[in-house]
């Protein structure tokens, strides 16, 4: 099989630059069955967004420690430790021990809390595996990216992706792959809420929900049905069914997190306002539906000819500081490949 990244194949002494884009789930991942291996308790379904891109450059360095430069700033602390643990996986797999300098930049505001770990770990997985001379298959790369962040597995394939929860204890069948032949040209309109979100990261939020929410098992039990309804509606290009299943799945995820003790509330007032706007626009005949991740920003999905109108309407709230619009993006790739 021809791999999309063999063109600029690993250069054991040089510099490798990889790109990956963030993805937004239509059917959400919320709950792990194995936190150490980052194994999801259920599948999920997403699309990669063209406008949210991370570029990561890696090279070997002499010295006792890895280095991480994030958006131009040398980075230590938790973010650094997490990235070093991730690179350790590749060092162990390749039987090599060199230290790595990692320079990673997001083309979107990280502070906005927009799925940056997905593009960061997908790009890092490709860059570092290539640096250490590994030629991973798309499936192997998705599995590696998953170890950094569950949703990163879905930023390896292009376009729409289906993530499998898998059944193997070692996670060898928990990966994402492209869903081919989707006729819909979906666009995302992201309403970035300006209020500083009260941060409960996804890992802590999922674990707290699993341990304390009385709704968690009901949430997990509903995901498989949502996945097949969503995939079928995508294939048929049926926006009405998509709106029901995607909004329903989002609200169920948030209801589950809100029912934890104490409850986790990611919605803020602009989120609720935007949600009502989306429903009002749909009632008026615009094909549009929403989702919300572990933060206050609402993502509306619509068709190309309605992007401008949806963006203009969502921009009218004083606490929505920015609107980002995006088409569907590419999978993880090497620069110049």
Residue-by-residue DSSP string for 287-331: -EEEEE-SSS-EEEEE-GGGHHHHHHHHTTSTTEEEEEEE-B---
d(CA 40, CA 34): 7
How many other C-beta atoms can be found within 10 angstroms of the C-beta atom of residue 152? 30
User: Given candidates 75, 98, 194, 203, which one binds ligand PMV under the rule CB under 6 A?
Assistant: 203
User: Given candidates 151, 209, 256, 268, which one binds ligand PMV under the rule CB under 6 A?
Assistant: 151
Site string for ligand PMV, 160-199 (x = CB under 6 A): ----------------------------------------
Phi, psi (deg, nearest 5) at residue 199: -85, 115
User: Given candidates 59, 155, 202, 249, which one binds ligand PMV under the rule CB under 6 A?
Assistant: 202
* Residue 162 Cβ vs ligand PMV, minimum distance, rounded to whole Å: 12
Cα atoms in the Cβ-side hemisphere of radius 13 Å centred on 113: 21
How many other C-beta atoms can be found within 10 angstroms of the C-beta atom of residue 308? 12
Enter the DSSP assignment of 120: H
* Residue 337 Cβ vs ligand PMV, minimum distance, rounded to whole Å: 25
User: Given candidates 117, 119, 213, 250, which one binds ligand PMV under the rule CB under 6 A?
Assistant: 117
* Residue 223 Cβ vs ligand PMV, minimum distance, rounded to whole Å: 10
Q: Does 134 bind ligand PMV (CB under 6 A)?
A: no
Binding segment for ligand PMV among 143-151, 230-238, 275-283, 311-319 (CB under 6 A)? 143-151
Q: Does 247 bind ligand PMV (CB under 6 A)?
A: no
User: Given candidates 104, 149, 249, 250, which one binds ligand PMV under the rule CB under 6 A?
Assistant: 149
User: Given candidates 16, 28, 147, 213, which one binds ligand PMV under the rule CB under 6 A?
Assistant: 28
How many other C-beta atoms can be found within 10 angstroms of the C-beta atom of residue 97? 8
Residue-by-residue DSSP string for 40-76: ESS-EEEEEEEEEEEEEEEEEESSSS-EEEETTEE--
CB proximity list for 44: less than 8 A, separation 6 or greater = 25, 27, 28, 29, 151, 154, 162, 163, 223, 227
Binding segment for ligand PMV among 65-73, 110-118, 175-183, 187-195 (CB under 6 A)? 110-118
Residue whose CB is less far from ligand PMV, 28 or 333: 28
Binding segment for ligand PMV among 13-21, 86-94, 148-156, 232-240 (CB under 6 A)? 148-156
Rounding to the nearest 10 degrees, give the CA dihedral for residues 119, 125, 128, 132: -160
Q: Residues in the site for ligand PMV, rule: CB under 6 A?
A: 25, 28-29, 44, 115, 117-118, 149-151, 202-203, 293-294
């Amino acid at each position: 099989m021809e791999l999309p990244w063999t063109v600029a194949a690993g250069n054991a002494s040089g510099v490798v630059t990889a790109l990956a884009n963030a993805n937004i789930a239509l059917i959400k991942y919320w709950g792990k069955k194995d936190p150490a291996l980052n194994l999801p308790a259920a599948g999920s379904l997403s699309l990669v967004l063209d406008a949210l891109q991370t570029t990561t450059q890696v090279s070997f360095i002499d010295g006792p420690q890895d280095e991480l430069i994030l958006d131009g700033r040398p980075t230590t602390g938790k973010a650094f430790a997490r990235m070093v643990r991730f690179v350790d996986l590749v060092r162990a797999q390749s039987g090599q021990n060199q230290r790595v300098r990692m320079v990673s930049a997001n083309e979107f505001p990280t502070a906005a809390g927009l799925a940056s770990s997905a593009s960061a770990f997908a790009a890092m997985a490709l860059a570092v595996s290539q640096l250490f001379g590994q030629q991973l298959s798309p499936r192997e790369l998705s599995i590696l990216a998953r170890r950094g962040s569950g949703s990163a597995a879905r930023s390896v394939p292009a376009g729409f992706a289906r993530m499998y929860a898998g059944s193997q204890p070692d996670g060898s069948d928990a990966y994402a792959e492209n869903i081919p032949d989707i006729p819909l040209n979906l666009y995302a309109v992201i309403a970035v809420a300006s209020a500083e979100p009260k941060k409960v990261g996804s890992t802590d939020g999922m674990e707290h929900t699993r341990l304390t929410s009385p709704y968690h098992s009901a949430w997990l039990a509903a995901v498989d049905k949502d996945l097949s309804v969503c995939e079928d509606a995508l294939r048929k290009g049926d926006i009405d069914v998509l709106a029901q299943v995607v909004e329903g799945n989002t609200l169920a995820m948030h209801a589950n997190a809100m029912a934890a003790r104490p409850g986790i509330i990611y919605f803020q007032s602009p989120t609720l306002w935007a949600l009502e706007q989306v429903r009002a626009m749909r009632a008026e005949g615009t094909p549009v539906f929403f989702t919300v991740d572990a933060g206050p920003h609402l993502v509306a999905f619509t068709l190309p000819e309605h992007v401008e109108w949806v963006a203009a309407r969502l921009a009218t709230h004083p606490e929505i500081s920015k609107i980002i619009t995006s088409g569907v993006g590419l999978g993880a790739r090497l620069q110049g490949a």
